[in-house]
């Protein structure tokens, strides 16, 4: 029995996918990338753009047409707008909120597929490793293993469908979803969800309607997951949340604040004696407190890279976006970062051509871009997101104007970033090797500040390792380097150059 999981959208959906995979593989399903050979077809939906929603409709139409010829089950989860929810209920066999993931085996069982899966197998204390093998035939309640015959069973009534819950009820944090051990897709970098949903209601964004209100995960669980990953030798850990630095606000007085959580992660790093980098995404300027910045400065395992979405450099646009902060406030945060962590790189998100944005307002964004000297900016042309408040407003900035503004900001970004990159030429930087580079015979790595750097290497065994690289040159948004002498190993499993010298890089 095989499953195929289509993941659309952001890193949060990828993280949800890692937990869905665990549940399905515990049930005895084996993963396949081929939709044609799967018995169970699932999709983690994204509602950020109409294009992503359209992909879901295209997929399910194709899958349903296959049902004439063979037995298969379909499900959908992820970010789903209320308007699509009703339609998906009719099109998919199962629809569930990610909070209901622990109930997925029971939902599938109602289709006649019986599995030995038991949630009690999962606990926060489990080791970090690949998905466990399914137990033998039968579990405590005598269920048998799944079979094709199971899928041939009569379809249940529609009443079993689980609707996605628009507002997470207070007890959602206890559904067990977060305690399901993820099947990590990488052996050296991992994403840990610490918070779900958002209370900010930016007018261009639909997340509060698709993911529900903010719910913070239990800090004990988060820190256990961090500890296990560190012990397993992970080099890069990213704390994830739609509004990650408002962590704990929904449980004030009962839970750690975001700064306190970071402090605990820093302490785990110090006690472990290992080298790793901890990132977090996506934060909101409103919740970027001095304590958070001071904590990042204090601990070497808290990476010196900060993503601080600006969205616009004009106060009036920020008000219409409902961002609830001014450019002045943003400036004071950047000032604090520059003063406390001068080596930190700064990334941002910007929307150009937001409804009603004038030329003058755009110019302020351009000035802000120059002033804040970003290392990377994700600049997007505004397009109405279905379900978001601004989708009801007139999208009145012509596409050509949006394109021009995007190009102008890209040029600003590249000029500033190139200037910064030039200051690194001749220095030695530590980098985490991620993958083979597009250029043959090279590997692609990232510095602690997440700047891409490629270097010549004969072995792909360096992937997942830290290396010290001398920066030999730079482009607008990337660096070029060479290995600086002996491999600068770390206490958590170093690889020497001698040991890996001979292997060719493939792919």
Contact positions vs ligand SF4 (CB under 6 A): 198, 200-202, 205, 207-208, 242-243, 284
| Contact indicator for 431, 446 with CB cutoff of 8 Å | yes
Minimum CB distance to ligand SF4, residue 290 (Å): 20
Q: What is the DSSP letter of 157?
A: P
Q: Six-digit token pair at 66?
A: 């296959």
Q: What is the DSSP letter of 106?
A: H
Q: Residue 438 phi/psi, 5° resolution?
A: -60, -30
6 bridge partner residues: 43
**Nearest Cα to Cα of residue 133 among 27, 235, 41:** 27
Nearer of residues 134 and 196 to ligand SF4, judged by Cβ: 196
Residue 306's SS3 state is strand
| Contact indicator for 352, 402 with CB cutoff of 8 Å | yes
Minimum CB distance to ligand SF4, residue 201 (Å): 6
Nearer of residues 201 and 418 to ligand SF4, judged by Cβ: 201
Minimum CB distance to ligand SF4, residue 322 (Å): 8
Nearer of residues 242 and 417 to ligand SF4, judged by Cβ: 242
Distance CA(192)–CA(75), nearest Å, equals 24
Distance CA(121)–CA(12), nearest Å, equals 24
Give the list of residues 6+ apart from residue 257 with CB closer than 8 angstroms, or none.
247, 248, 291
Nearer of residues 66 and 201 to ligand SF4, judged by Cβ: 201
Nearer of residues 121 and 349 to ligand SF4, judged by Cβ: 349
Minimum CB distance to ligand SF4, residue 224 (Å): 26
Minimum CB distance to ligand SF4, residue 388 (Å): 8
Give the list of residues 6+ apart from residue 228 with CB closer than 8 angstroms, or none.
126, 127, 128
The DSSP code sequence of 385-400 is PTTSGGGGS---S-HH
Nearer of residues 162 and 323 to ligand SF4, judged by Cβ: 323
Nearer of residues 103 and 243 to ligand SF4, judged by Cβ: 243
Ramachandran region, residue 18 (left: φ > 0; alpha: ψ -120 to 50; beta: rest): alpha
Minimum CB distance to ligand SF4, residue 202 (Å): 3
Minimum CB distance to ligand SF4, residue 288 (Å): 12
Minimum CB distance to ligand SF4, residue 370 (Å): 24
> Given CA atoms 63, 64, 66, 67 in this order, what sign does their dihedral have?
positive
Residue 482's SS3 state is strand
Minimum CB distance to ligand SF4, residue 340 (Å): 24
The DSSP code sequence of 287-333 is G--HHHHHHHHH-TTB-SEEE---B-S-HHHHHHTT----HHHHHHH
Give the list of residues 6+ apart from residue 232 with CB closer than 8 angstroms, or none.
127, 128, 129
Nearer of residues 200 and 298 to ligand SF4, judged by Cβ: 200
Distance CA(323)–CA(316), nearest Å, equals 10
Q: Residue 183 phi/psi, 5° resolution?
A: -90, 90
Minimum CB distance to ligand SF4, residue 376 (Å): 18
Q: What is the DSSP letter of 154?
A: P
| Contact indicator for 158, 107 with CB cutoff of 8 Å | no
Nearer of residues 77 and 242 to ligand SF4, judged by Cβ: 242
Nearer of residues 81 and 205 to ligand SF4, judged by Cβ: 205
Residue 323's SS3 state is coil
Minimum CB distance to ligand SF4, residue 323 (Å): 7
Q: Six-digit token pair at 327?
A: 């450019």
23 bridge partner residues: none
Q: What is the CA radius of gyration of the chain?
A: 24
Minimum CB distance to ligand SF4, residue 353 (Å): 17
Nearer of residues 115 and 196 to ligand SF4, judged by Cβ: 196
Nearer of residues 207 and 474 to ligand SF4, judged by Cβ: 207
């Amino acid at each position: 029995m095989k499953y195929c999981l289509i993941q659309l959208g952001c890193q949060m959906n990828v993280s949800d996918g890692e937990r869905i995979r665990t549940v399905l593989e515990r049930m005895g399903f084996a993963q396949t990338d081929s939709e044609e050979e799967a018995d169970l077809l699932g999709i983690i939906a994204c509602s950020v753009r109409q294009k992503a929603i359209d992909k879901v409709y295209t997929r399910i139409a194709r899958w349903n047409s296959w049902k004439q010829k063979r037995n298969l089950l379909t499900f959908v989860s992820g970010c789903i707008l209320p308007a699509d929810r009703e339609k998906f209920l009719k099109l998919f066999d199962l629809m569930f909120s990610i909070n209901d993931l622990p109930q997925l085996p029971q939902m599938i069982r109602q289709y006649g597929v019986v599995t030995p899966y038991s949630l009690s197998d999962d606990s926060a204390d489990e080791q970090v490793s690949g998905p466990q093998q399914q137990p033998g035939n039968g579990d405590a309640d005598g269920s048998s293993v799944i079979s094709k015959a199971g899928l041939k069973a009569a379809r249940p009534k529609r009443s079993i469908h689980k609707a996605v819950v628009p507002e997470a009820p207070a007890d959602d944090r206890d559904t067990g979803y977060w305690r399901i051990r993820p099947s990590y897709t990488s052996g050296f970098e991992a994403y840990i969800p610490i918070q779900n949903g958002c209370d900010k209601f930016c007018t261009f964004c639909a997340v509060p309607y698709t993911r529900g209100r903010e719910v913070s995960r239990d800090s004990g669980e988060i820190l256990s997951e961090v500890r296990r990953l560190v012990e397993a030798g992970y080099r890069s850990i990213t704390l994830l949340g739609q509004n990650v630095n408002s962590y704990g606000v929904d449980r004030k007085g009962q839970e750690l604040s975001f700064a306190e959580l970071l402090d605990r992660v820093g302490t785990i790093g110090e006690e472990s004696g290992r080298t790793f980098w901890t990132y977090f995404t996506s934060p909101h300027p409103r919740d970027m407190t001095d304590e958070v910045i001071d904590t990042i400065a204090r601990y070497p395992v808290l990476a010196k890279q900060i993503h601080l979405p600006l969205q616009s450099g004009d106060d009036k646009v920020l008000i219409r976006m409902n961002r609830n902060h001014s450019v002045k406030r943003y400036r004071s945060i950047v000032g604090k970062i520059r003063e406390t962590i001068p080596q930190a790189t700064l990334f941002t998100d910007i929307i150009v051509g937001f409804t009603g944005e004038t030329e003058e307002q755009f110019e302020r964004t351009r000035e802000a871009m120059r002033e804040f000297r970003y290392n990377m900016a994700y600049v997007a042309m505004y397009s109405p997101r279905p379900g978001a408040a601004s989708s009801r407003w007139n999208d009145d900035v012509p596409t050509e104007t949006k394109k021009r503004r995007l190009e102008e900001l890209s040029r600003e970004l590249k000029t500033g970033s190139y200037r910064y990159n030039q200051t690194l030429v001749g220095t030695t930087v530590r980098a985490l090797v991620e993958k083979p580079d597009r250029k043959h015979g090279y590997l692609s790595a990232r510095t602690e500040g997440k700047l891409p750097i490629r270097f010549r290497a004969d072995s792909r065994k360096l992937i997942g390792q830290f290396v010290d690289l001398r920066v030999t040159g730079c482009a607008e948004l990337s660096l070029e380097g060479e290995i600086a002498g002996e491999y600068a190993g770390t206490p958590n499993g170093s690889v020497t150059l001698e040991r890996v010298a001979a292997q060719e890089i493939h792919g």
